[in-house]
């Protein structure tokens, strides 16, 4: 094959335009009349070795105009063949046996550039999808943290950003649905759960969330079905078991709920949740004796037994509930050992816990501690009538009649329909020998509850001391009619 320079010289003699490869520029030799060619071919074909003595047409035309070198510069570019330029080469007979090779080289160059562009685009799209997935995961975790902290509006904004980045994750839609449930936007929650179901139609969390929505709208039967389906898909998630058991209890089947938990309690490394639920179900059916040991076990398994003062949240609930039950059931010594350090370590103890501890104090002759705690509580909550009543009792026990009278009068004004308040005030007036005031309070008590034997006996005592023995005897006999075992009425009726 002739050398390119030789080929060019021959072409110059005949037809410069015909010989010059497309894009080459002819220049005059300095001082001579001959033309020479410099290769100013566009960079997209640079490096193509032209081994023909005939000019090759521009057979590849880019649709966009970036002319930088390299495959990476052709991102997103598409090439088309210049069919009009290529046609003569397809139909023209070969000259010097070389044009077909040149055409093949050009086609290979075009196809290689186009293929590289397509592969690069696919890699970029995949990388972008992966990055969006990572960003969405990060935003989802942030939204979940905000939800757990009660920052519902912030959680909604953040999870919506995650969904806008990647809308293929069911858990993001489910978190958004839980946010809407917390806000009471049930219609929005339903729509969001439907979107989650399209992403993952068989996930148990979708059924669980549907159960929550049904329960919030009072559709307990439907909620129970959803919870049961969720647990059927995944028996190892405690939330599904707890939800189904609670729903059974609310539907009036506490025994079935307790049986369901007892059958599955060994499936989990319990943190006290199941034992707490068993205790609540026991209380629901009035079985305090069963509730107390379950609460003790819940405290033990949750680690609240000795370090409760350092543990937030769940331990507070367990200690307060167990302390109240112990006090109500008369287990005062254990009530004091449990609640005393708990109350001392907190400034915001619920009043029901304070009264449970003070009741135990009074029953174990720790009256001074009871009075001090009750005074502190009344400074913090001046309208706490239960604490007022206990303080009146403590003051009576210590002979502090002035304090007892002051709080008894407040109590009677604040609770005019409470028999105990009237009885306490009447008793204090009687002990202070203010008999008319005492009689008035006892009559108020009897007007509220005519069958109160204590009120009949107390007013009988006042009437007897004011010389009205016949009327007093009527009240004693009435007390015996109500309760034949009333020892006080029997004794008062005995002849002196």
pLDDT, one tens digit per residue, over 16-74 is: 444 444 444 443 333 444 444 444 444 433 333 333 333 434 444 444 444 444 443 34
> Do the domain assignments include residue 321?
no
Per-residue pLDDT for 466 more than 80? yes
What is the predicted pLDDT for the residue at 491?
86
- For the chain, the domain total comes to 2
> Do the domain assignments include residue 36?
yes
Per-residue pLDDT for 319 more than 60? yes
User: Of 128, 159, 176, which residue sits at a domain end?
Assistant: 128
User: What is the distance between the alpha carbons of residues 233 and 201, in angstroms, rounded to a whole number?
Assistant: 12
Per-residue pLDDT for 223 more than 80? yes
Is the separation of the CB atoms in 377 and 384 below 8 Å? Answer: yes
Paired tokens of 63: 């649709």
Give the mean pLDDT of the chain: 79
What is the predicted pLDDT for the residue at 55?
41
- Give the range with max mean pLDDT: 10-24, 110-124, 308-322, 438-452: 438-452
Per-residue pLDDT for 454 more than 70? yes
User: What is the distance between the alpha carbons of residues 443 and 426, in angstroms, rounded to a whole number?
Assistant: 9
What is the predicted pLDDT for the residue at 419?
94
3 state DSSP class of 181: helix
The whole-number average pLDDT for the span 164-183 is: 91
Per-residue pLDDT for 328 more than 80? yes
Q: Say which CATH number the domain at 479 has.
A: 1.25.40.10
Paired tokens of 58: 């521009």
* Better-scored residue on pLDDT, 23 or 473: 473
User: Of 103, 128, 153, which residue sits at a domain end?
Assistant: 128
> Do the domain assignments include residue 421?
yes
> Do the domain assignments include residue 15?
yes
Is the separation of the CB atoms in 408 and 392 below 8 Å? Answer: yes
User: What is the distance between the alpha carbons of residues 103 and 88, in angstroms, rounded to a whole number?
Assistant: 11
Measured on CA atoms in the order 372, 375, 379, 382, is the torsion positive or negative?
positive
pLDDT, one tens digit per residue, over 396-447 is: 999 999 999 999 999 999 999 999 999 999 999 999 999 999 999 999 999 9
> Do the domain assignments include residue 332?
no
The whole-number average pLDDT for the span 486-490 is: 88
Q: How confident is the model at residue 113 (pLDDT cuts 50, 70, 90)?
A: low
User: What is the distance between the alpha carbons of residues 42 and 260, in angstroms, rounded to a whole number?
Assistant: 80
What is the predicted pLDDT for the residue at 117?
60
What is the predicted pLDDT for the residue at 398?
92
Measured CA to CA in angstroms, residue 362 lies from 253, 357, 455, 475 at distances of: 39, 9, 23, 31
The whole-number average pLDDT for the span 230-254 is: 92
3 state DSSP class of 287: coil
The whole-number average pLDDT for the span 382-404 is: 93
pTM above 0.85, yes or no: no
Task: State which residues form the domain around 425.
Answer: 417-496
> Do the domain assignments include residue 106?
yes
Per-residue pLDDT for 14 more than 50? no
> Do the domain assignments include residue 220?
no
Of 69-83, 214-228, 454-468, the range with the lowest mean pLDDT is 69-83
Q: Count CA within 13 A, CB hemisphere, residue 18.
A: 8
The DSSP secondary-structure symbol of 217 reads: T
What is the predicted pLDDT for the residue at 479?
94
Per-residue pLDDT for 200 more than 60? yes
User: Of 102, 128, 154, which residue sits at a domain end?
Assistant: 128
Of 242-246, 258-262, 303-307, the range with the lowest mean pLDDT is 303-307
> Do the domain assignments include residue 470?
yes
3 state DSSP class of 62: strand
3 state DSSP class of 400: coil
Furthest C-alpha separation in the chain: 160
């Amino acid at each position: 094959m002739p050398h390119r320079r030789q080929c060019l010289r021959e072409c110059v003699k005949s037809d410069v335009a015909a010989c010059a490869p497309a894009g080459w520029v002819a220049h005059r030799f300095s001082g001579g009349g001959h033309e020479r060619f410099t290769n100013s071919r566009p960079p997209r074909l640079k490096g193509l070795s032209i081994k023909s003595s005939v000019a090759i047409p521009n057979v590849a035309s880019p649709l966009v105009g970036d002319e930088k070198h390299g495959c990476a510069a052709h991102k997103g570019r598409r090439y088309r063949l210049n069919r009009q330029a290529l046609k003569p080469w397809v139909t023209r007979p070969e000259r010097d046996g070389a044009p077909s090779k040149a055409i093949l080289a050009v086609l290979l160059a075009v196809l290689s550039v186009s293929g590289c562009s397509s592969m690069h685009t696919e890699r970029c799209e995949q990388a972008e999808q992966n990055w969006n997935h990572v960003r969405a995961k990060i935003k989802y975790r942030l939204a979940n943290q905000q939800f757990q902290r009660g920052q519902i509006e912030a959680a909604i904004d953040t999870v919506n950003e995650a969904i806008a980045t990647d809308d293929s994750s069911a858990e993001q839609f489910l978190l958004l649905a839980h946010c809407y449930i917390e806000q009471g936007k049930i219609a929005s929650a339903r729509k969001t759960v439907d979107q989650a179901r399209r992403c993952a139609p068989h996930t148990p969390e979708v059924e669980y969330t549907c159960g929550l929505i049904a329960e919030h709208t009072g559709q307990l039967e439907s909620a129970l079905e959803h919870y049961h389906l969720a647990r059927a898909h995944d028996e190892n998630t405690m939330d599904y078991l707890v939800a189904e058991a609670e729903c059974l209890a609310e539907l009036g089947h506490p025994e079935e709920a307790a049986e369901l938990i007892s059958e599955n309690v060994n499936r989990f490394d319990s943190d006290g949740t199941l034992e707490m639920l068993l205790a609540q179900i026991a209380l629901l059916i009035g079985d305090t004796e069963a509730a107390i040991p379950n609460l003790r076990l819940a405290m033990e398994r949750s680690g609240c037994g000795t370090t409760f003062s350092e543990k937030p949240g769940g331990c507070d609930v367990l200690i307060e509930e167990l302390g109240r039950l112990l006090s109500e059931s008369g287990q005062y010594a254990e009530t004091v050992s449990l609640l005393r350090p708990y109350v001392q370590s907190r400034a915001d103890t619920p009043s029901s816990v304070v009264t449970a501890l003070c009741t135990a104090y009074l029953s174990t002759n720790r009256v001074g501690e009871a009075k001090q705690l009750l005074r502190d509580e009344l400074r913090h909550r001046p309208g706490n009538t239960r604490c007022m009543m206990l303080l009146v009792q403590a003051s009576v026990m210590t002979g502090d009649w002035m304090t007892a009278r002051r709080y008894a009068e407040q109590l009677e004004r604040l609770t005019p329909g409470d028999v105990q308040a009237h009885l306490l005030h009447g008793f204090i007036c009687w002990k202070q020998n203010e008999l008319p005031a005492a009689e008035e309070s006892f009559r108020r008590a009897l007007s509220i509850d005519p069958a109160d034997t204590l009120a009949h006996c107390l007013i009988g005592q006042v009437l007897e001391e004011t010389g009205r023995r016949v009327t007093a005897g009527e009240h004693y006999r009435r007390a015996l009619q109500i309760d034949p075992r009333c020892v006080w009425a029997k004794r008062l009726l005995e002849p002196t």
